[in-house]
Amino acid sequence: MNPEDRSENSAGGSAAERAAIVLVCNGPGELATWVRPLAQRLHRDLALRPLQPEAPIGLQLVLVPCPNATGSEHQVAARMQLFERILPAGRFWWLVLRPRRHGPWPRRGVVVFLGGDQFWTVLLSARLGYRHLTYAEWVARWPRWNDRIAAMGPTAADRLAPRWRSRCRVVGDLMADLSEASRAERPLPSGTWVALMPGSKRAKLQVGVPFLLEVADRLAALQPGCRFLLPVAPTTSVPELLAYAGPANPIAAHYAATNLRLEPGPEGQELCTAAGTRIVLVEQQPAHGVLSQCALALTTVGANTAELGALGVPMIVLVPTQHLHVMQAWDGGLGILARLPILRWLLGAAMTAWRMRHRGFLAWPNISAGRAVVPERVGTITPAEIAEEAADWLLHPQRLEGMREDLRSLRGQPGAVAALAGMVRELLPAATGDAA
């Protein structure tokens, strides 16, 4: 029996006498940076199942359909061991149509939006008859049906019509707490560490793994003192990373760093390229502690950039567009069409090329600041170009420190996770009775 199936069967007992907190999420980035910290905080503040089996309140997770998801988010969530019940995205519509198919549901509870399409949480909270709390990064799309809105900042709060603003509270950026939590992790050995972050989805890994491996080889030749680490995303594995660097991945033939070997090292498993570059694999999740000690990160777009920004890690954001036919990891209806077997090659390439020509900022720190805080390199970029740029940054630590300070200034004050957990508690029936 799968972990999520076991957790569904654990919600027995007298459902009418119990309550539920249901966190709703879509992808691996949100799971790591929003869901996990809030779930840990709720367990710290309240007696919750499954950590306290006799508690009257259960903590549950519902994953919603999303074209950017990997399909293995429920497995990642199960390994956290924080949730009484986990519903994979593929079961979402059955949950809405027939909730009791997945076991008994308490009569009262709170649904919390933490990623995906906000409408799914509106629908789910209405179907279950639960109160509804939305964490809004930039905009709350359905304020009429939100009991409360937790805004990341004034941007989301100011977009609300005056009639809904009494429901809103600015709690701050949930990622601002990441750097505080990371300090308990082990220190890295001395050296200039560079993080390689190829992404977590197949479309990104196909390009990102061979591209960054060649960058590492070239950067090691330019800066022999460099040391490299690669956090293994929870939705992938070491064997998959090896496969993306080998003949099974047609993109790998365009790059030099192939024939990887997996070898033991003092810090754990290491990838060793044919040129002799050694890359420490970080399989512990989350990897915030080791990432926060890196001088520089080379990363794809996505949640990585928000995570690195919250940790104050200087970065170069990479979007090599020479492989457009595999870069269909976009959202929305067109993203779904681009993944259909007949249309994916033509429409996917055309759509991605259009978005590259009409793009704004792609990295989250730049989007948040409205200016170029971290460099974005988009186009037919080469590993040689990126290695030279990375070497130049490393030769000028004062410039890296300036970028780090800019990122820290965007991060905001810690405390958003505690504030959001407080709003969840306020909505719980046990704390507020039946008041709206």
pLDDT of residue 346: 57
Kindly state whether residues 199 and 150 are assigned to the same domain: no
Q: How many other C-beta atoms lie within 10 A of the C-beta of residue 378?
A: 14
* pLDDT tens, N- to C-terminus, the chain (436 residues): 344 444 443 444 444 458 999 999 998 888 888 999 999 999 999 999 999 999 999 999 999 998 777 788 999 899 999 999 999 999 999 999 999 888 899 999 999 999 999 999 999 999 999 999 999 998 999 999 999 999 999 989 999 999 999 999 999 989 888 765 554 456 899 999 999 999 888 888 999 999 999 999 999 999 999 999 999 988 889 999 999 999 899 899 999 877 889 999 998 899 999 999 999 999 988 888 899 999 999 999 888 898 999 899 999 999 888 776 554 444 444 444 445 555 555 555 555 555 555 567 889 899 888 899 999 998 889 999 999 999 999 999 999 999 999 998 888 788 999 999 999 999 997 543 333 2
pLDDT of residue 5: 42
Both tokens assigned to 138: 């930039």
* Structural domain includes residue 177: no
* Structural domain includes residue 297: yes
| 202 contacts 250 by C-beta, under 8 angstroms | no
Kindly state whether residues 321 and 427 are assigned to the same domain: no
Kindly state whether residues 144 and 168 are assigned to the same domain: yes
Sign of CA dihedral 209, 210, 216, 222: negative
pLDDT of residue 319: 87
| 79 contacts 234 by C-beta, under 8 angstroms | yes
Kindly state whether residues 145 and 192 are assigned to the same domain: no
Extended beta strands in 365-428, E state: 376-379
Distance CA 417, CA 271 (A): 36
Kindly state whether residues 313 and 188 are assigned to the same domain: yes
pLDDT of residue 330: 45
Helix 383-394 and helix 397-411: axis angle, to 10°? 90
| Whether the predicted model's global pTM rises above the 0.85 cut | no
* Structural domain includes residue 23: yes
In CATH, what number is assigned to the domain containing residue 130? 3.40.50
Kindly state whether residues 121 and 210 are assigned to the same domain: no
Both tokens assigned to 81: 């061991």
Kindly state whether residues 70 and 204 are assigned to the same domain: no
Distance CA 244, CA 388 (A): 24
In CATH, what number is assigned to the domain containing residue 346? 3.40.50.2000
Kindly state whether residues 288 and 190 are assigned to the same domain: yes
Kindly state whether residues 220 and 360 are assigned to the same domain: yes
342 alpha-carbon distance from chain centroid: 30
| 96 contacts 229 by C-beta, under 8 angstroms | no
Distance CA 407, CA 159 (A): 25
| 196 contacts 229 by C-beta, under 8 angstroms | yes
pLDDT of residue 258: 73
Kindly state whether residues 236 and 349 are assigned to the same domain: yes
* Structural domain includes residue 39: yes
Torsion (CA) 123, 1, 82, 63 in degrees, nearest 10 = -20
* Structural domain includes residue 393: yes
Q: Which domain holds residue 193?
A: 182-411
Both tokens assigned to 197: 């972050």
| 129 contacts 146 by C-beta, under 8 angstroms | no
pLDDT of residue 8: 40
Closest CA to 308 of 327, 287, 285: 287
pLDDT of residue 345: 53
Kindly state whether residues 203 and 154 are assigned to the same domain: no
Kindly state whether residues 364 and 281 are assigned to the same domain: yes
* Structural domain includes residue 168: yes
- Domain count within the chain: 2
Residue 281 phi/psi, 5° resolution? -90, 125
